[in-house]
């Protein structure tokens, strides 16, 4: 389903996200916005809405990019954290969140990091680059 959105977006946008873990296993997550392209005047995207594009608990931190309106509707980053809190492993939770977004034509990608150092990357679009350092 997300193919329709991708076909309408011939260029890549500039969202930057980060998840980090310190030596004690404490997590942090942050997400910048990709800018105002394809947006209505006055629109607030998913990046500044806690729970939509960014969320962090003591167990997992998440940063997302993609179709902001779809990510906002599902509060996708918080959804991933809630799934982990309910006992899902982070990779399974990430796959579930991306599948939920795919069902509503939400092109998206995410990075997540758990307190034990497990890194997860999921997306339904080829446009999300990522890097990691330990």
Q: Provide the residue-wise pLDDT of the chain in tens; the chain has 134 residues.
A: 455 545 555 555 567 899 999 999 999 999 987 655 656 677 777 888 889 999 999 999 999 988 888 999 999 999 999 999 999 999 999 999 999 999 998 889 999 999 999 999 999 988 778 888 87
pLDDT at 35: 59
Domain-embedded: residue 23 = yes
Of 98, 111, 112, nearest in space to 67 by CA: 98
User: Is there a domain that residue 111 lies in?
Assistant: yes
Is residue 98, in this structure, part of any structural domain at all? yes
CATH assignment at residue 73: 3.60.20.30
> How many domains does the chain divide into?
1
Q: Quote the pLDDT of residue 9.
A: 53
Active site positions, annotated: 15
Q: Which residues lie closer than 8 Å to 97 by C-beta, 6 or more apart?
A: 74, 76, 79, 80, 83, 110, 122
Q: What is the pLDDT of residue 49?
A: 86
Structural domain includes residue 115: yes
The answer to whether residue 27 is domain-embedded is yes
pLDDT of residue 76: 96
Asked whether residue 102 is domain-assigned, the answer is yes
Q: Which domain holds residue 57?
A: 15-34+44-123
């Amino acid at each position: 389903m997300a193919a329709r959105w991708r076909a309408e977006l011939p260029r890549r946008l500039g969202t930057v996200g980060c998840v980090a873990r310190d030596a004690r296993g404490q997590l942090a997550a942050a997400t910048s916005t990709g800018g105002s392209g394809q947006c209505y005047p006055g629109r607030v995207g998913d990046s500044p809405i806690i729970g939509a594009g960014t969320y962090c608990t003591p167990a997992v931190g998440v940063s997302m990019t993609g179709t902001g309106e779809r990510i906002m509707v599902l509060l996708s980053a918080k959804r991933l954290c809630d799934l982990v809190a309910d006992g899902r492993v982070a990779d399974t939770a990430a796959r579930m969140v991306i599948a939920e977004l795919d069902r509503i034509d939400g092109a998206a990608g995410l990075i997540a990091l758990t307190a034990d150092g497990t890194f997860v990357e999921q997306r339904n679009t080829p446009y999300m680059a990522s890097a990691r350092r330990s």
